[in-house]
Chains A and B, each alone.
Chain A
């Protein structure tokens, strides 16, 4: 905020920045907030032909809700439209099969708010990786336990058919999601690699240690006493 305020109120500082940074590139623009956008705008202000390139995808936003992301990008478009703004839609994809791209597009197109609609773009992606096309199977499970059981059964069947474990991935939404999944994988002897750690303090083992230390730190914590006594490590 201090930087933005200085750009606005201190003409000398703003000029120094404009001279030092004549070309600006912003990656993951969908995740910028209005303050960050205003700093970029402040540096670009007053330039006849601002050299600015932003790269972003409203469909990949992970920090903000769709409306806020769109507002940021649409504001950018409005601001620079008179200065020969060019919109380039990147549609070549090197990560997925065409089947996956088309299926995900069909789902995403259900969004009522999207830049694709607002700016009348066509974001139909084209697969370029040359991966063999395979059909997608959708399984509707009545509850999470059956979902996990079905998943593990399928993974074990694939491995039994000769597919290495490492060629199989399970993708989920949030990092905290796979607690029960890991429990079942361990029980069923399915080796796994969880790429990212989770909140240490929410892990059951860390909780045991924290609660025991809390009780040692204050032996009058009757609320913790029996819970700690019942821990299975004594």
Chain B
């Protein structure tokens, strides 16, 4: 198990063990300076890209350059991940259509407002194969 994975697990568990966290971080930094530099360079290039492209163009390029698209396709649960990605991209397209002038920050603010008022978009239903166990709410079972 790599150090990055350990740190992610620690984050996920919201661990209060700061000593362990700091030690993991130091070890991660020492072992991964090339990786961190490469991600920071990507982030800086994304910042510039976002300033020069439309929201939709930016996001398309972001998915390729960041490695997110390949990562999602390589996962065992790719059907669900791609479904979430499609829903997310659909929202970007809808908002870019309604507000062509929107920046990334505007988009995030808009999405946070939707969530705040209980209007968050929903993910698509998930089906892993045609013969599958049905998952539903008690209300939906009617």
Chain A residues within 8 Å of B, Cβ to Cβ: 62, 95, 155, 164-166, 168-175, 177-178, 181-182, 185-186, 190-203, 205-206, 209-210, 212-219, 226-230, 232-234
Contact = CB atoms under 8 A, between A and B. Distances in A.
Given A194-B136, A214-B108, A234-B66, 18 more contacts: A171-B141, A172-B138, A186-B76, A190-B133, A192-B132, A193-B128, A193-B133, A194-B125, A197-B87, A199-B115, A200-B123, A201-B120, A203-B123, A205-B88, A206-B84, A216-B43, A230-B7, A234-B42
Given A209-B88, A219-B43, A191 B50 contact: no
Interface residues of B, number: 64
Contact of B126 (A164, A172, A193, A214): A193
A168 B123 contact: no
Contact of B125 (A193, A213, A219, A233): A193
B111 interface: yes
B39 interface: yes
20 contacts: A95-B142, A165-B131, A171-B138, A178-B135, A190-B133, A191-B128, A191-B129, A191-B133, A195-B125, A196-B136, A196-B137, A197-B87, A199-B115, A217-B103, A217-B108, A229-B36, A230-B8, A232-B8, A234-B38, A234-B42
Interface string B50-77: 1000000000001000111001100011
Interface string B78-107: 001100110110010000000000011101
Interface string B23-48: 00100000000011011101110110
A169 B134 CA distance: 4
B136 A216 contact: no
Instruction: Give the 5 A-B residue pairs with the shortest CB-CB distance, closest first.
Output: A197-B123, A233-B71, A197-B122, A217-B104, A191-B132
Interface of B: 4-5, 7-8, 11, 25, 35-36, 38-40, 42-44, 46-47, 50, 62, 66-68, 71-72, 76-77, 80-81, 84-85, 87-88, 91, 103-105, 107-108, 111-112, 114-115, 120-142
A192 B62 CA distance: 31
A213 B87 CA distance: 16
B123 A198 contact: yes
Contact of A174 (B68, B108, B127, B137): B137
Given A230-B8, A234-B42, A197 B125 contact: yes
A207 B42 CA distance: 19
Given A213-B104, A219-B47, A173 B137 contact: yes
Contacts of B126: 182, 192-194, 197
